[in-house]
Structure 1
Amino acid sequence: MSDTTHPVTWLRHAGQHLGLVPSLGGSVAAWQIDDPQQPGGRIDLWRPWDGATPDLYQMASFAMVPWSNRISGGGFTHVGRFHPMRPNRAGEPYPIHGDGWLQPWTLAQTAPDTLEMRLRSERFQGNPYDYESVQTFRLVQGGLDQHVLVRHRGAEPLPYGIGVHPWFPRTPATRISAPVEGVWLCGDDPLPTAHTTQFPEGWNLNAGISAHGDLIDNGYTGWGGAARIEWPERGLVLTARMPEFAQDGGTAKHFCLIYRPPQGPAFCFEPITQPIDAFHLPGQPGLRVLAQGEAMALHVQWRFGPSA
């Protein structure tokens, strides 16, 4: 991972290796831990970038600001004003995942165990958002603290959302579980069409689901702010926890998304602050309206260890 167009900056601490690519959407190239069974070897906790392709969907992870997932209808209306938005990824009919992932960030090391990336975005590609964002990655014993903050800089208040988009390698027995209350069903174009608390077969995260199977590209509601990914073949488990879960609104304000493609080496579990196309759902669930100078943040504590 030494591509000169998009160089990787590595943070090494507590038996972990975190590679960041600020010039390629402020993304993550890899998060790895030392392999105790193989001196000098590493285990990927997030699927690693190949070091060459500029496709952000091939990165280990990236932040989604100032919204996550798709916005339909050519834009959105806020306080009686329509804000047009245009598609931002080839093959996608809707703008997706915000615009932070499409711009270069600046990087700084603020502590021996910490890297920080910053972005100042002003109406990128003609969209209405004027904001600044800060991603902070801190390696701690047994894991990673990931923090994403966005601050509105425009004069007109606007609705915001945040998400993180890590890709996890999947072994044959990989499973993912999380406390959730419901799921948004969708048509062929992943936009939500109906909400249900009756989970389709193989979709109930409360009981745990396989990382393999038919396509899931859906947002879950009432997420309890925790998740567990287990690789039995590795004897390894990775957990996610939202440390500000209660003070940030609990299940009513927390959502997650599963992207489980039928083929390929990886799947996604995405902590998000609003469901797919929240801009066009009743009540705009999860979106936070920020006035000039106001901020919101998403904080995830990732921890790894041996599985039971």
Structure 2
Amino acid sequence: MTCKQMQNQERIVLNDSQGELVVDPLMGGAVVNYDFKTSQGLIPILRPGDSFQRSGPFSLGCNVLVPFANRISGGGFETPQGILPLSSNLVGEPFPIHGNGFQVPWQVSQVKDLEICLTLQSHGPSHFQYSAQLRYVLKLGSLQMELDVTNEAEEALPYGLGFHPWLAREENSQLRFNATGCWLENFEHLPTEHVPPGSGSSTDFSTEHDFPDGLLNNAYTGWDGIADLIRPQHGLSVQVTAESPLNCLQIYSPAAEADFVCIEPVNHTVDALNNVGKPGVISPKWLEKGECLSVKCCIEPRLI
């Protein structure tokens, strides 16, 4: 097992007997590449990121979501102190999306054995002030991720956390997970109706299911914390697991022929702060000053 730093690109590489992990602290603390070692050679578990260029956060393998996930409409949301304004943070996106953690450099606090620890001190967006710790561990080829956030603002604020892996797949790949509800969306990718999986335009993945021909971009509620991506071309199953409070699973697939799918464990539904009280809405966690929130997720490849 080895751990080395790529000096030219300031990226960190972890290696064990079954996996290889590359992390870029400067690009939002993101995972660049994560590969599984087999007798066939290296198999990408995450869609391979830029090897040497930093063309953008969504050209990487896995992004960290903090202090909120997905979109927030209406220019912000209401707090006990009044409206907390939020502006768009990505070109081409009318609404703020995925917080700011994926867009800013993180500091390396520790690299040892098969573990990377990163930290972030953030003043913003808007009223948000927080400190965050991000931990990656490579263990027998599996990737364990842990994110902790502490509210350092004077006021109580809602914190949304999650992970945004871009998992590699092939056209014959299938997905399986259990959930009790699904949010449909409109053309702005905002939630419209909460339905049972399989109703309307939603897909039920309770048994192994192909990806739909068109866009799939839904938040699934009542998720049991386990999702399996089956990749028969490589004789591989990739399991994504998460612990509470990551009880919502956002699935994004642009088309059936896409070479990736995003399987995103998050702790709240899309635009939850502007839909409080509606059935199926999962709200982010309100934290008083000094309070913390921790989330964990694991990606584990398995030969089948």
1: CA distance, partners of 2:112 / 2:291:
26
Q: Is the 8 A contact 2:121 2:132 kept in 1?
A: yes
Q: Kindly state the Cα deviation for residue 218 of structure 1 after the two structures are TM-superposed.
A: 1.4
Q: Determine which of 3, 15, 19 is the counterpart of 2:18.
A: 15
Q: Where does residue 146 of structure 1 map in the other structure?
A: 145
Indicate the SS of the match to 1:57: helix
Q: Where does residue 74 of structure 1 map in the other structure?
A: 75
Deviation digits for residues 218-240 of structure 1 (CA, Å, limit 9, x no counterpart): 11111111111110010001112
* Structure-to-structure mapping, 1:96-175, within 5 angstroms: 96-124=97-125, 127-175=126-174
Q: Is the 8 A contact 1:185 1:195 kept in 2?
A: yes
2: CA distance, partners of 1:163 / 1:209:
24
Q: Is the 8 A contact 1:152 1:290 kept in 2?
A: yes
2: CA distance, partners of 1:165 / 1:142:
19
1: CA distance, partners of 2:7 / 2:283:
38
Q: Is the 8 A contact 2:173 2:231 kept in 1?
A: yes
Relative distance call for 1:204 and 1:141 in structure 2 (3 A) is: same
Q: Is the 8 A contact 1:14 1:139 kept in 2?
A: no
TM-score (normalizing by structure 2): 0.91
Q: Where does residue 59 of structure 2 map in the other structure?
A: 58
Q: Kindly state the Cα deviation for residue 170 of structure 1 after the two structures are TM-superposed.
A: 1.7
Relative distance call for 1:202 and 1:274 in structure 2 (3 A) is: closer
Runs of 4+ in 1 over 4 A off after TM superposition: 1-4
Deviation digits for residues 254-293 of structure 1 (CA, Å, limit 9, x no counterpart): 1000101025421211001001111111236231000111
Q: Where does residue 290 of structure 1 map in the other structure?
A: 287
Deviation digits for residues 79-137 of structure 1 (CA, Å, limit 9, x no counterpart): 1510110000000000000101111001133430101111100124xx11100111111
> Residue type of the partner of 2:260?
A
Indicate the SS of the match to 2:102: helix
Indicate the SS of the match to 2:62: coil
2: CA distance, partners of 1:211 / 1:64:
25
Deviation digits for residues 6-65 of structure 1 (CA, Å, limit 9, x no counterpart): 53210112321110101111111101122312xxx3111001112214211110011000
Indicate the SS of the match to 2:233: helix
Relative distance call for 1:214 and 1:105 in structure 2 (3 A) is: same
Aligned residues: 294
TM-score (normalizing by structure 1): 0.90
Indicate the SS of the match to 2:45: strand
Aligned-residue Cα RMSD (Å) equals 1.9
Q: Kindly state the Cα deviation for residue 301 of structure 1 after the two structures are TM-superposed.
A: 2.1
Relative distance call for 1:171 and 1:152 in structure 2 (3 A) is: same
Structure 2, unmatched stretches of 5+, are none
Q: Where does residue 187 of structure 1 map in the other structure?
A: 186
